[in-house]
Amino acid sequence: MAFLTLNRTKLQENFTYLNETFEENNISWGVVSKLLCGNRSFLKELIDLGVNEVHDSRISNLAKVKEISSDIQTVYIKPVSKRNIPKMVKYADVSLNSELNTIRWISAEAKSQSKNHKIIIMVETGDLREGVIGDHIVDFYEQIFELPNIEIIGLGTNLNCLNGVMPSSDKLIQLSLYKQIIELKFNKRIPWVSAGTSVTIPMIKTHQLPKGINHFRIGETLYFGVDLFEEKIIPGMHGDVFELNAEIIEMQEKSLLPTGTLAANPQGEIVEIDERLYGKTSFRAILDIGLLDIDPKYLIAKDNEFEILGASSDMLILNLGKNPKGYKVGDLIKFNLKYMGALGIMNSSYVDKVIIA
């Protein structure tokens, strides 16, 4: 059976690197846990790092965080549906919001639960996901800042999450200005400008981050050590906290080309034939993982001497050429993962999850 490992030491070192970076720049931050898909063992590893704040887009995952440590501040990081507001208020201390009616409903629910609920108002800065239009932010704030059982603790934004719009000093300065305008007009303090995600981290290193940005929400860089501006591993961090191990379940020398009448495969693709390969063979390995668990494009082979040919729902096919390393049935093939690949694996109940030191 295929299995995924989480390397405790490498996760700790990535966390320490980020924590020191943020402390040096007087930035608060929380860890986005949605990649872990509510896996209790992995969540405990995360919390044991010394995390004070956990963010997630699934209420059930935040409930598990609270079960592990009730002192952790939990943050719900997508607009909540009306039907889920009671559960969200119960398990999330903070939520990101951009709809007036939703915040009113949250206020009423928080009052009924005898709780105070914290709000970060999301502002649209160009990527066209969630967010209040900037020109409307003062009117928006005016309609919600006196709602009972609601505390507005920040303005926030998301970039590079839908259309790939990258953060810039201009965009983030504008967000900081909105905060200053609101504080002056209403004589209210807003502690956070939460504009930092993994894609914003390189702006700290290049000294391009405006001073007003003081809160980050970090997932991908913690788990994959990646600089999303340059698509490379940040020096001092690890890109292989997660590792997928898949077992070879068949190893045969076969033709490089299929034979017979070709039609679209189950994925709707028609295989292209390279006539130069007629009569040639190679060793092909079948692994015990498939499209049900992960799209092959999110796999990063640790051995560069083979080619991923494709996958069916439950099997991954490799071309090993002449098999110079002598792989055989029962051997494990190791892969690093891209973020979306790890997310698929974590969400699969068919792949075991294991913690290693």
Enumerate the active-site residues.
34
CA distance 234 to 239: 9
Closest CA to 52 of 176, 239, 218: 218
Residue 128 CB neighbour total at 10 angstroms: 12
Strands of the chain, DSSP E: 3-7, 28-32, 53-56, 73-76, 94-97, 117-124, 132-133, 150-156, 192-196, 215-218, 226-227, 232-233, 242-255, 281-287, 299-301, 307-311, 316-319, 332-337, 352-356
Two tokens, residue 100: 């007036």
β-pairing verdict for 94-97 and 132-133: unpaired
CA 228-234-239 angle, to 5 degrees, is: 85
Q: What is the dihedral of CA 161, 164, 166, 172, to 10 degrees?
A: -50
β-pairing verdict for 28-32 and 53-56: parallel
List 179's β-bridge partners, or say none: none
